[in-house]
Structure 1
Amino acid sequence: MSGFGAITARFYAWFNRNPPSNRIVIDVAELGPDDRVLEVGCGPGAALELAASRIGAERVAAVDPSPTFAAMVAKRVPGADVRVAGAEDVPFDDGAFTVIYTIMSMHHWDDRDDGLATLTAKLAPGGRLLLAERLLEKPGHGITPAQIAAVEARLGELGQTGVHTVRRPDRRKTLAVVVSTRPLAS
């Protein structure tokens, strides 16, 4: 995915400065002081800013395919490691993060299965992956129950454990957060 253009990114950022879904995901993630966090599809950076306020900017990183969003986030969260990339080509070492999350961006990925494989590889043993999307009845700008089942199955195939979905009210919609854990090394 090439991402949002400069004008579209700025327009989107204006209307999505601090949506409640950010707090929901950060709360579900239960960030601790030893976590190393990656946000995928960070948009204007509100969730990353919240994560940084809890564990420190030096412990958070983000990727977005839009250079405009990446620049906005680097300015918004000084000290964060922000790079231009999509979910399928995250430019960090395997095993680098204890928490990886994405908020309403998975439906934009060019190849969901490839993105999931990439993100699970970037998790440290015991690391948590959170995939948040707006719950829908039919395919669109979010995720349906059938798509949740497919994502959960794919995560199982990738060796993730404890795969489950948390549903939380978010204004007039429901946020579905698919949560999984990378197993500890054997």
Structure 2
Amino acid sequence: MSSFGAVGARLYAWFNRHPESNRVVVGLAELRAGEPVLEVGCGPGVALELAAAVAGAEHVAAVEPSETFVAMARKRVPGADVRVAGAEDVPFADGSFAAIYTLASMHHWHDRDAGLATLCAKLRPGGRLVLAERLLDRPGHGITQAQIGEVAGRLTGLGQVDVHTEQRDVGRKTLVAVISERPRTA
């Protein structure tokens, strides 16, 4: 998404102001007050704002490759730590987050395997990872059943436990989330 310029980012933000998908993903992440949470690919900050309402703005962080979106998210959620970065190079210490979620960004990652490995490393023991995408019949801006299997297999290979999927119908689309947890003990 780093290719979004100022005009493109503002148009995207206008048409995606309050989609139900954001509420669904934040709900699936099972956020708790005071827990550190990270959003990957925050766009204009809609879901980040919802997460801040639960965890507290000082406990939420986000990464986004688009500088325009980072500026929009910082303005929308003052107090949140929003940085320019991608899933593959999250600039926070390993073991920092109780929950990490992403909505409709994984299909943009340059190196999905590296992104998954990075996010798993950023979770603290017992931390939850929620990777949500639109379910598709063929590859594109979302995820297919075959890709879900690949992601779940990779997460298992990275040591994540309780790897499962959940589907929700949101408007005219189906949202699927691959959910996993970092083991509580090594």
> Does 2:71 correspond to 1:87?
no
Provide Cα deviations, 1:124-162, integer angstroms capped at 9, x if missing partner.
010000000000111111000000000000000000000
Report the counterpart of residue 62 of structure 1 in structure 2: 62
Partner of 1:149: 149
Q: What is the percent sequence identity of the aligned residues?
A: 68
Residues 73, 82 of structure 1: 8 Å contact kept: yes
Which digits, 9 at most, give the CA deviation of each residue in 1:82-118, with x for residues without a partner? 0000000000000000100000010000010000001
Runs of 4+ in 1 over 3 A off after TM superposition: none
TM-score computed with the length of structure 2 as normaliser: 0.98
The residue number in structure 2 matching 1:10 is 10
* C-alpha contact 1:3 1:64 (8 A) present in aligned 2: no
Which amino acid in 2 is paired with 1:93?
Answer: A
Give the partner amino acid of 2:121.
A
TM superposition shift of 1:3 = 4.0
Task: Compute the TM-score of the two structures, normalised by the length of structure 1.
Answer: 0.98
Contact 2:160 2:182 in 1 (8 A): yes
Instruction: Give the Cα–Cα distance (whole angstroms) in 2 for the partners of residues 89 and 41 of structure 1.
Output: 12
Q: CA RMSD in A?
A: 0.9
- The residue that corresponds to 1:106 in the other structure is 106
Deviations, residues 144-184 of structure 1 (Å, cap 9, x unaligned): 00000000000000000000000011101110000000001
Using the TM superposition, give the Cα deviation of residue 185 of structure 1 relative to its aligned residue in structure 2, in angstroms: 2.5
The one-letter code sitting in structure 1 at the alignment partner of 2:108 is H
Distance (Å, rounded) in 2 between the aligned partners of 1:49 and 1:37: 12
Matched, 1:97 2:97: yes
Cα offsets for 1:40-64 (capped at 9, x unmatched):
0000100000010112100100010
> Could you list the runs of 5+ residues in structure 1 that have no partner in the other structure?
none
Aligned residues: 186
- 1:1-186 equivalences under 5 Å are 2-186=2-186
Between 7-16 and 107-116, report the one with greater CA deviation.
7-16
Tell me the distance in 1 between the aligned counterparts of 2:94 and 2:40. 15
